[in-house]
Structure 1
């Protein structure tokens, strides 16, 4: 019963957090804790069932994650090879491959600790298990809530539709990934215009070192060539990062219309983190995402989570260090 009460408390905190501001990462954590407490309550109830039933449940609980981890490692390795073939060997394109190898190394460490019965190795393996468990819990929270956030409906009409830029190809051409963002922004623009609204498409992106024009200029050319009136397009050409996209765009919107309402468009894997950045920048905006190629998802999601994790580096790394020290202290006393 205690676990169910805790689950209810965390779910209420989650619901209240979403109603107050759906862009907070704590909402993801509250949802994860609610589901974890619910699972603990269910397992506790099953412990009171006949022994045969409970034994089957225990086997499933232990075997399911073990098999799932190995399958996940294999899928990440396969995706890593695909990323290298399609996108090149850039550091961010290697993330899924590195994650797959990391999972195999972690499993190997646990197996070695069990087989060798070496005290030092057991300490390292137990510490790694707790740290990886903590990071995996946060990662699951991030994925689950990002999925929910991406499916929350757009709330009412807006004054501005901000489309975040990404890299150009050939120095001045819009690539498919960025075209997806622009097409999603255009779809929202058309829908709101059909209802009598007059939103402005604010295109945000500066000029990279390998680009001949600012991203916002190429984005504007793309939309105007597809029928968007030129007077409904505004360019923000200074930004280099998501944070700058939002900050510089906010300055333009506030000057044009104090008290503005806006919607931000990016790719779906990036929507939740962009929403967190918008909140940090003081931009009252919902963020929506455009479709992304499936093979691109794993590495992109890992990159997004790493950015969120490191945005709270002192807390997260402090907890990881505390878990490791806790294991060392326990083994020292034993």
Structure 2
């Protein structure tokens, strides 16, 4: 019976896997990756529940409860950092559960998945940090060649240099430092480990937030500005934000014959000849968007002001607050922009424009630093506790050694 069910669920999964892309081709939004991932997850969960039903146990309810906790938190408010932590907690509990189920069933599929996961983790442990350093140096070179040598473009290089110095010193520290001093040096790796967890949670929720599937019921789309070339020309990065909004504008227009209005948001910088929003409007007009469907917000200087001032313009134009809106920006900036929308009391989720792969590491690092600064008091307290713990340990080790 077990083999028959495995074959059936495998056939059902394969049918869905090949059907989903064809199904999505018939839709206005042709993206199929999210639905493929969802279909795999559903089939795998059904299979795991069947395996446990064979054992007459219900331990799958433990990871399921953590999944439900994440889903409840996420759909109640998508724009929260804690959602990344909750999802990773579900993954940790889920992987532990699958490990226990593997021991209980010796199921071939679970054995294969465990083998792949084990090899990946082993490679990560053996060369993960060194591979990361090599990748960061390579990425830094590419970014500097294509984007210039500004400080914002040097983040991957600075991180690579810092990690290189850490690896060298860490290799020799146990040989040249007494034990109590090594404990003091331990402040650095523990702090790095803490921030790596924070970054992983941030990256997790940033990726999950990319899967927004907004309905074609929007009244407005806010397009966030990002600076102009020579103070007057829309750069490619900003152009992709506008084109993402136009893509949704046309899709909703085709689906409902009721297109949303585009709100171009961006003020005039000190080195710019015109407000960003006016240049963005001209760009959209050249792409065939009617002028009556474009609003401009010309006073904002940052993303928070983008959200606040755009909200004011929308409320005036709509004649109330019961509107539906979303915003467009580049995918790396999507989640932090969502946080600013929340701070502005603007009920709007975002859709992200694609960004060149080489630009993403540097961009996500910049976003992460900005996120950390938004919650710097919390991080300072935790880093202070880490430092205090290691200083007390070092003092205890020093006096114990001195005493004996």
2:73 equivalent to 1:17: yes
CA distance in 1 between counterparts of 2:378 and 2:258 reads 44
Q: What is the CA distance between 1:144 and its match in structure 2?
A: 1.7
- Give, in whole Å, the separation in 2 of the partners of 1:128 and 1:40: 30
Please tell me whether the aligned partners of residues 4 and 37 of structure 1 are also in contact (alpha carbons under 8 angstroms). Answer: no
Q: Distance in 1 between matches of 2:195 and 2:237?
A: 29
Give 1:181's aligned residue: 241
Matched, 1:283 2:346: yes
The within-5 A match list for 1:1-334 is 10-39=66-95, 64-194=124-254, 195-257=256-318, 258=320, 259-334=322-397
Q: Which structure has the greater CA radius of gyration?
A: 2
Aligned to 1:51: none
d(CA) in 2 for partners of 1:148 and 1:301?
14
* Pair 1:107–1:267, CA change in 2 (3 A): same
Instruction: Give distance in 1, aligned partners of 2:97 and 2:383.
Output: 26
Q: Specify whether residues 134 and 10 from structure 1 end up closer, same or farther in structure 2 by C-alpha distance, changes over 3 A only.
A: farther
- Cα distance between partner residues in 1 of 2:165 and 2:304: 35
TM-score by length of structure 2 reads 0.75
CA distance 1:114–1:29, change in 2 (3 Å): same
Determine if contact 2:180/2:395 at 8 Å carries over to the other structure: no
Name the CA distance, whole Å, in 1 between partners of 2:182 and 2:100.
29
Q: CA deviation at 1:155?
A: 3.2
- 1:280 deviation in Å? 1.2
* Structure 2: segments with no counterpart, 5+ residues: 1-58, 105-116, 398-404
Q: Secondary structure at the match of 1:273?
A: helix
Larger deviation, residues 309-318 vs 322-331? 322-331
**Uncovered stretches (5+) of structure 1, i.e. residues with no partner:** 49-56
Q: TM-score, normalised by structure 1?
A: 0.89
CA distance in 2, matches of 1:328, 1:59: 37
Q: How many residues align?
A: 329
1:283-323 CA distance string (max 9 Å, x none): 00011110111111111100001111111111112111111
CA contact (8 A) 2:331 2:355 kept: yes
After superposition, the Cα gap between the structure-2 partners of 1:124 and 1:27, relative to the gap in structure 1 and judged at 3 Å, is: same
Which whole-Å CA distance do the structure 2 matches of 1:152 and 1:306 have between them?
24
